[in-house]
């Protein structure tokens, strides 16, 4: 995962978690739906790394 970028992509997430790219896209869609519900602008196929870490691991780095 490139530490300089603020977003994580499905292929990066799939590699990091050891899951399929399709499953990673499902997770990203779910996280983006949460962000949209809270009024944030989202980018399809990407999710902010800090938000992912907060929701997945319980902390923000």
Q: What are phi and psi of 9, to 5 degrees?
A: -100, 170
Angle between helical axes of 49-57 and 21-37 (0-180°, round to 10):
100
Say what the pLDDT of residue 57 is. 86
Show pLDDT as tens, one digit a residue, over the chain (61 residues).
557 899 999 999 999 999 999 999 999 999 999 999 999 999 999 999 999 999 988 875 5
Distance CA 43, CA 28 (A): 10
Supply 27's token pair: 């997770």
Return the SS3 of 30. helix
Going by C-alpha positions, the residue among 3, 14, 2, 4 that lies closest to residue 45 is 14
pLDDT at 58: 87
pLDDT score, position 61: 58
């Amino acid at each position: 995962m490139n530490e300089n970028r603020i977003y994580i992509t499905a292929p990066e997430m799939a590699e990091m978690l050891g899951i399929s790219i399709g499953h990673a896209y499902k997770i990203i869609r779910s996280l983006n739906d949460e962000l949209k519900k809270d009024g944030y602008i989202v980018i399809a196929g990407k999710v902010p790394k800090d938000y992912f870490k907060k929701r997945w691991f319980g902390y923000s780095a």
